[in-house]
Amino acid sequence: MAERVVAEAVGITELIDLTGKRAFVTGGGQGIGMAIARRLVEAGAVVIIGDLDPAAQAAAAAIGAGFAACDITEPDQLDAALDVVTSAGGLDIVVNNAGIFPTTGPMIDVTDAFIHRMLDVNVRAQFSVAREAARRMQHGGSIVNLASIAGLGGGANISAYSASKAAVISLTRSFANELGPRGIRVNAIAPGIIDTPGVQDQLAPLQAGGVDITQRIAANPLGIAGQSDHVARVALFLVSELAEFVTGHTLIVDGGATA
């Protein structure tokens, strides 16, 4: 039996302190990924943002994070980015955030090429990130996968996206079972509609049709628009020692939209 640890003996500031931890955030150049990277830096972690947009390097520097150009669908680029992270002291935290946005249109119009791309980025590449991260986590760690409430309930015109995020939720459970004995916790976050540049782009056709985007974004019991930092705070909880006994869980962050 594992040795019993008296959890209450640890102070609250120690539980949230990430000093000395090294973190890799994929797709961290803007939106949710950038907000998560900022919170990790504030908590003391050394953070490297991996993003395929070279312009993200300046954004990373502005929050005190490093940068590695990385398309997670390209194995060589992923390996090189992770080597940047581990070169100065290992790997403790990975936030698997990079992905493709949801709008796919009616399922009868969705092409095989689109489905292939969606699953390649949102499932196959996320799998690769988690696998390569786990190989480098020699002393335990934490992996957080970005899922979506679409992976829990589906929705019209987002069939391929919903399938990809349901797969992320399933992989999270499987990884948690497999990696737990190695001291690696694996959890997922399922955001609802979050007010990011990407979501604004997705809702532009609705706006053109007379739909109030602000109202749509805040269409939840709390009546407030979901912000990137709402997700970032949850990510900080999951990678910190506050969540020491939490793994295999998908935490919904949607203002109660799916309640």
Residues designated catalytic: 161
C-alpha span between 25 and 34 (Å, rounded): 8
Name residue 49's beta-bridge partners.
Answer: 25, 67
> What are the CA-CA distances from residue 116 to residues 121, 124, 127, 139, 173 (Å)?
9, 10, 15, 35, 23
- Which residue from 93, 92, 110 is spatially nearest to 102, judged by alpha carbons? 110
Residue that is written with structure tokens 């706006």 in the block: 207
State phi, psi for 146 to the nearest 5 degrees.
Answer: -90, 115
Residue that is written with structure tokens 């698997």 in the block: 96
Q: Tell the burial category of 143 from Cβ atoms under 10 Å away from its Cβ (0-12, 13-18, 19+).
A: buried
C-alpha span between 101 and 114 (Å, rounded): 12
In three-state secondary structure terms, 91 is coil
State phi, psi for 25 to the nearest 5 degrees.
Answer: -120, 115
